């Protein structure tokens, strides 16, 4: 089928058909999963790829997952030169297609009337524990080996047969094996649904048309993206921000610098001048840096552009090898996926505000407020809880920021208090908006949240957060949002303000209060 034979209505139908496959995969994963983190918070993503590993369609799941998932598919293709129906590759190694260790990715082929795969379906789910030095597998690590079990691209299923030995090895290295077994099975179920739906599309419309329109969608997205970018003011735009890294209770600011070069229908984001990787969890791999950049540009090219490999083609990302944003093994990366990605978005948008001041919002809370709690229930069974906590959205030229929402690289929900208290030995005493924490301005920044937990059994609590020292910045004369706070209220009445990153042993009666940052304001008051 030539380009002249492309029917625009059929093209739009295929855009939604492929997206529908990914969406139904996500519904299956949610409904069949075991852990509250997947079932309630929706911390997972699903997507469809073509035979070359190019993203064809994704569900509206987690931006940081989806932008980095092409690297996972590429790693799976490199590790498995020959595929059979029923194969499933599993991986979480950040240096071989992964992001951070709790994010476990599955990749499986879809054969449609060909000897080689016609498509691949992929899912990524954040597993609440994969081992490592603290429950929840988001520790205050100094190298990746402390963060949990590292899984290179390996086949968990071969021609539909589960590798029981490999599964036993994985489950023996995590704190919550029954939950992990259930969530892995849920991912596999999602893949079976995706494969079945693609076969149904091929049966209804013909394999040739299905494959052709997958390619047409990529070309269409690239053309639309280049047209949109061509309308942006050409030039170089530079901005800088910083991450807060706490080590031995001492705060160090880690600079992130970007130069955004716009011209000729493409964008180059160069992070020269960014600080070097550190012996801590704030580092990230290049795929996460790319993902954050793709997200920022994608937000500006327009909703009419289908999200696939084509819309990312005009965006190039460069970061010096060995820097904070392009770490090398064995650098720790637990927080890179969740915290550093947020700061990359902040600094890219700050640079683009110079080119597109009428479209860029002030900084949102700039953190996911990653909280892990782990220990044993009264019956002796182990548990590991993970949650990210929402905050304030930055105000924009069009209006005030939203309050108490997840922003930018995260798209999860909160864990409902009813589900949390049913499954874990702690409870939530307070969950409220942090009134007045948004930045002042013509348009106010959104307010953060207050979430206070009471501990009912001995446990280990670990927090990875940001914007406890550097506030979310305002734009066009708007004020900064309030910084966040982490407070420990001991059962004996002592109160202690904790740093942005900490790990503590808590006892029954202790309380932990998290106050998340507000968003920056826009425009003068």
Q: Are strands 88-91 and 235-247 parallel, antiparallel or unpaired?
A: unpaired
Q: Domain span at residue 78? A: 3-222
Tokens of 279: 């012996």
Structural domain contains residue 354: no
C-alpha distances (whole Å) from 381 to each of 129, 139, 371, 509 are 14, 21, 20, 20
| Residue 440 belongs to some domain of the structure | yes
What would the pLDDT profile of 438-463 be if each residue is shown by its tens digit? 999 999 999 999 999 999 999 999 99
Whether 260 is covered by a domain: the verdict is no
User: How many domains, in total, are found in the chain?
Assistant: 2
Final residue before a domain boundary, out of 222, 240, 262: 222
- pLDDT tens for 19-48 read 999 999 999 999 999 999 999 998 999 999
CA proximity to 118, closest of 85, 90, 91, 88: 85
Is 351 a member of any domain?
no
- pLDDT tens per residue across span 157-208: 999 999 999 999 999 999 999 999 999 999 999 999 999 999 999 999 999 9
Q: Which of 197, 222, 247 is the last residue of a domain?
A: 222
Task: Write the DSSP string, 344-377.
Answer: HHHHHHHHHHHH-TTTPPPP------EEEEEEE-
Is 305 part of any domain?
Answer: no
The answer as to whether 287 is a domain residue is: no
218 and 365 housed in the same domain: no
CA distances for 472 relative to 337, 382, 480, 482, 519, angstroms: 19, 37, 5, 7, 6
Considering 222, 243, 258, which residue would you say is the last residue of a domain?
Answer: 222
Residue 60: which pLDDT band, with cuts at 50, 70 and 90?
A: confident
Residue 353: inside a domain: no
pLDDT single digits (tens) 462-492: 999 999 999 999 999 999 999 999 999 999 9
What are the phi and psi torsion angles at 431 (to 5°)?
-145, 105
Kindly state whether residue 42 falls inside one of the protein's structural domains. Answer: yes
Distance CA 99, CA 283 (A): 11
């Amino acid at each position: 089928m030539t380009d002249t034979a492309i029917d625009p209505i059929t093209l739009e139908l295929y855009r939604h058909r492929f997206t529908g496959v990914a969406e139904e995969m996500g519904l299956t994963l949610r409904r069949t999963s075991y852990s509250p983190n997947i079932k309630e918070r929706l911390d997972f993503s699903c997507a469809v790829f073509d035979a070359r590993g190019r993203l064809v369609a994704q569900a509206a799941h987690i931006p940081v997952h989806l932008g980095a998932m092409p690297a996972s598919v590429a790693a799976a293709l490199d590790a498995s030169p020959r595929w059979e129906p029923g194969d499933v590759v599993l991986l979480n190694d950040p240096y071989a297609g992964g992001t951070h260790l709790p994010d476990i990715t599955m990749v499986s082929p879809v054969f449609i009337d060909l000897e080689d795969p016609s498509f691949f379906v992929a899912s990524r789910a954040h597993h609440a524990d994969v081992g490592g030095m603290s429950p929840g597998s988001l520790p205050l690590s100094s190298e990746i080996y402390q963060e949990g079990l590292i899984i290179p691209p390996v086949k968990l299923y071969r021609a539909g047969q589960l590798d029981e030995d490999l599964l036993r090895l994985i489950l023996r290295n995590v704190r919550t094996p029954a939950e992990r077994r259930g969530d892995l099975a849920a991912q596999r179920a999602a893949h079976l649904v995706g494969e079945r739906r693609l076969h149904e599309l091929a049966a209804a419309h013909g394999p040739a048309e299905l494959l052709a329109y997958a390619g047409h969608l990529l070309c269409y997205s690239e053309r639309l993206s280049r047209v949109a970018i061509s309308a942006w003011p050409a030039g170089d735009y530079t901005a800088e921000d910083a991450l807060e890294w706490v080590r031995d209770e001492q705060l160090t600011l880690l600079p992130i610098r970007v130069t955004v070069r716009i011209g000729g229908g493409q964008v180059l984001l160069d992070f020269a001048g960014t600080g070097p990787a550190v012996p801590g969890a704030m580092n990230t791999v290049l795929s996460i840096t790319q993902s954050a950049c793709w997200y920022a540009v994608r937000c500006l090219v327009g909703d009419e552009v289908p999200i696939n490999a084509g819309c990312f083609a005009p965006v190039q990302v460069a970061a010096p090898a060995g820097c904070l944003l392009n770490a090398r093994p064995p650098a720790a990366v637990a927080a890179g996926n969740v915290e550093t990605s947020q700061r990359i978005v902040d600094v890219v948008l700050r640079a683009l505000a110079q080119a597109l001041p009428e479209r860029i919002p002030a900084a949102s809370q700039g953190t996911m407020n990653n909280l892990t709690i782990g220990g044993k229930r009264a019956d002796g069974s182990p548990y590991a809880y993970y949650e990210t906590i929402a905050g304030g959205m930055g105000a924009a030229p069009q209006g005030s920021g939203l309050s108490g929402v997840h922003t930018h690289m995260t798209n999860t929900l909160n864990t409902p208090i009813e589900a949390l208290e049913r499954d874990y030995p702690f409870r939530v005493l307070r969950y409220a908006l942090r009134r007045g924490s948004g930045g002042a301005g013509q348009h106010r920044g959104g307010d953060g949240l207050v979430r206070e937990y009471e501990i009912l059994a001995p446990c280990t609590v670990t927090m990875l957060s940001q914007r406890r020292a550097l506030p979310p910045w305002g734009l066009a004369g708007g004020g900064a949002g309030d910084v966040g706070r982490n407070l420990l209220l001991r059962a004996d009445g002592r109160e202690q303000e904790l740093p942005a990153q900490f790990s503590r042993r808590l006892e029954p009666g202790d309380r932990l209060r998290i106050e998340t940052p507000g968003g920056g304001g826009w425009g003068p008051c």
